[in-house]
Amino acid sequence: SYLFKDKRPSWFERTLVILKPDGLQRALSGEVLSRFEQRGLQLVAAKLIRPSAAHLKQHYWELRDKPFFTNLVTFMSSGPIIAMVWQGTDAVAIGRAIIGATDPMDALPGTIRGDLCITVGRNVVHGSDSVESAKHEIDLWFKPAELVMWERCCHDWVFESP
C-alpha cells in the first residue's frame, strides 16, 4: 500500500491551498504547483473538483458580511478548482509568503499574486491564513483517507529537526 502510517513530525504544519477557477482557466496550475513544490513543501492531497456554492459559503463563512461575499462565492463556483494540502515546517506561513498579499496591487514580485495577476477578485490562489483555519479548511475539503502519507526522499535536505 502507498498509504503509510502518519510519521509526520509534530512540528510539521499542513495548509489548504486552492488553485481558483481563474488559475485553472489561465493554465497556471503547473506554475502554481511548482512554486509550492520547489520551495520545499510536500504535497499530501490534491483533487480537481467543481465546488458547490453551499460548500464555498462554508469555506468563506467568516466573510459572509463582506460586500464582496456573493461575488466571491459565484466566482469560486464558476468552474473547476484544484484543492490541495501541503505540509512542512511552518507550512501555513510559508504558504502565505508564496502566495503574497490578498490584493495583487500590494503583492510583492516573486509571489504568485505579485507575478501572475492584477485584481483582488481574480487572485489565482487561496491559502489558509492560520494553523487553526488550516485545520478547519482541510477537514472541510478532504476526508482523512484522502490525505496520502508518503516519505519524500529529499525530506532531510529541506527540513531540519528542531
Q: Which is nearer to ligand UDP, 52 or 102 (CB)?
A: 102
State how beta strands 125-127 and 12-19 pair. antiparallel
Footprint on residues 26-65 left by ligand UDP (CB under 6 A): 63
C-alpha to C-alpha distance for 104 and 4, rounded to whole angstroms: 39
Q: Which is nearer to ligand UDP, 61 or 68 (CB)?
A: 68
C-alpha to C-alpha distance for 65 and 86, rounded to whole angstroms: 29
For the window 126-145, what string marks contact with ligand UDP as x by the rule CB under 6 A?
x--x----------------
Cell of 147: 490525505
- Residue 96: CB minimum distance to ligand UDP, A: 8
At CB < 8 A and 24+ separation, what contacts does 130-137 make? Answer: 130/92, 131/13, 131/92, 134/13, 134/14, 134/15, 134/16, 134/91, 134/92, 135/14, 137/16, 137/59
Among 46, 93, 97, 120, binds ligand UDP (CB under 6 A): 120
- Residue 17: CB minimum distance to ligand UDP, A: 11
Residue 46 three-state SS: strand
Q: Which residues participate in catalysis according to the annotation?
A: 126
- As annotated, the binding site includes 20, 68, 96, 102, 113, 123
The residues of the shown chain that bind ligand UDP, judged by CB under 6 A, are: 63, 68, 72, 102, 120-121, 123, 126, 129
